[in-house]
Amino acid sequence: MKNKIIPYEILYEALETTRILVEGGPEEGELLVLKSFLKHISKVVERYLDNAENGIPVLGHHFAFPTEVFFAYDIVPIVFEGIPYILSALLPEGSESFYDLADSWGHPYHTCTSQKGVLGMTLNGMFQFDVITTPTAPCDNTFASYPVISEIHKKDVPFIIADMPFYHDERGYKYYGAELKKTILDVGEALNQEPDWDKFKKAIDYSNEALKYISEINELRRVAPCPIESMLCPLMTAVLAFIPGQPERALFFKDVLEIAKKRAKSGERAYPGKEKIRSIWPYMSIFFDIGFCEWLDREIGMSMLLDIFNYLFLEQVDTSQDVDEIINGVAKQSMEYPMVRQSQYHADTLIEDFVYLSKEYEADCAIFTAHIGCKQSVSLIQLLREALRDEVGIPMLTVDLDIGDARYTSIQTVKKEINNFVKTIL
């Protein structure tokens, strides 16, 4: 059978190579979070590859959907936004050739690389989806790129859209619950499968368990020195995208919690040396250089406490309720999911969230990654800078870049800007 998810084969090889290097290289007791990440994510990617090879249909979807709901069916889930960025971290040239393919095909160069990567991979014949689905959120990039990816397929691929309302209130959550249910049933019809609600509940239970560990980890990140390495920020983003509704998601966060507890108890930092600066990243981490967070921790003593994907303003969903209630609970989670919550709605949500988190976590500064594709987030930089200055008393550095493409701003330039900021403003 033709491999319908070739980028996952590349990913699996890259993960395994990195795992061998990491397990054999650093001293025992180092890079513990990365080691756990590689172990768990590899298993899941391997499972997806086996399932795709055995003919299980491939569902491509936006990260704003909780994948768990689609585990009511036998599917191999591909979250579009995850794959270009994890490859940008693990491969020397990242996903650059795929961005270039999409650009040369005519897709605007300044769109978000999170979707542009999959667009290039699909143009290259590396993905063959059986169904594609997205909500109408959080951004124009999403909603302009998904139909294109579905059109590229030679045969008709069902393309299913859930309308996410603008207002994040009880009425909005209820409306989106109905949209989400319709999407789940439409996906079943497209795949010719009946929903198995027990499998769906089990997937949500695994993610509930992970959510419990994440809350505890985030409590421990308040401790000074921060007991968790900065690298958890990008790794957590990857785990949320790649391991939804799977036992490995809970196992990874359980490992991280144990590591954090042990260090917090003895007042240890992840690395020798003092924690000199506690930084908060109101948008995303940088994905295209896996060693960047190590540089922050080791070379300048800066802890990256949280980025936009690390603090989950979510409540667990009680799976003992009836299916409609569970879907409504998941719909609310989906609308309050990181980046959806802050990018779909008024700018004040992002500003309020990061004023609150900067105070709570006693941050010394903020660093904003002005991702070229994300016009709406970049437009509020000055407002956020003023709010952090006036309400928290901390400065914010802005770094212009593409978080998944090393060619816009090199990592050397990023480091130079941070160094200058640390030596002058801080």
**DSSP summary character for residue 94:** T
Q: Which is nearer to ligand SF4, 176 or 283 (CB)?
A: 283
| Nearest CA-CA partner of 249 in 50, 131, 77, 401 | 77
Q: Are 116 and 317 in contact (CB under 8 A)?
A: no
Q: Which residues pair with 134 in a beta bridge?
A: 161
Of the two residues 4 and 61, which places its CB atom closer to ligand SF4 in the complex? Answer: 61
Least CB distance to ligand SF4 at residue 64 (A): 8
Q: To the nearest whole angstrom, how small is the minimum distance from the Cβ of residue 57 to ligand SF4?
A: 25
Query: Of 379 and 420, which CB lies nearer to ligand SF4 in the complex structure?
Result: 379
Closer residue to ligand SF4 (CB): 107 or 371: 371
Closest separation in Å from C-beta 146 to ligand SF4: 11
Phi/psi region, residue 288 (left: phi>0; alpha: psi -120 to 50; beta: rest), is alpha
Nearer CB in complex with ligand SF4: 36/377: 377
Distances (CA, A) of 262 to 38, 215, 228, 289, 297: 21, 16, 10, 28, 19
Cis ω for the linkage preceding 225 (within 30 of 0): yes
Residue 293 CB neighbour total at 10 angstroms: 22
Task: Give the number of other CB atoms < 10 A from CB of residue 187.
Answer: 26
225 vs 404, which CB is nearer to ligand SF4?
404
Smallest gap from Cβ 368 to ligand SF4, in A, equals 12
CB of 140 to ligand SF4, least distance (A): 8
Those residues with Cβ within 8 angstroms of residue 93's Cβ, 6 or more apart along the chain or in another chain: none
Residues forming the site for ligand SF4 (CB under 6 A): 81, 112, 114, 138-139, 141-142, 339, 343, 371, 373-374, 377
Least separation in angstroms between CB 278 and ligand SF4: 24
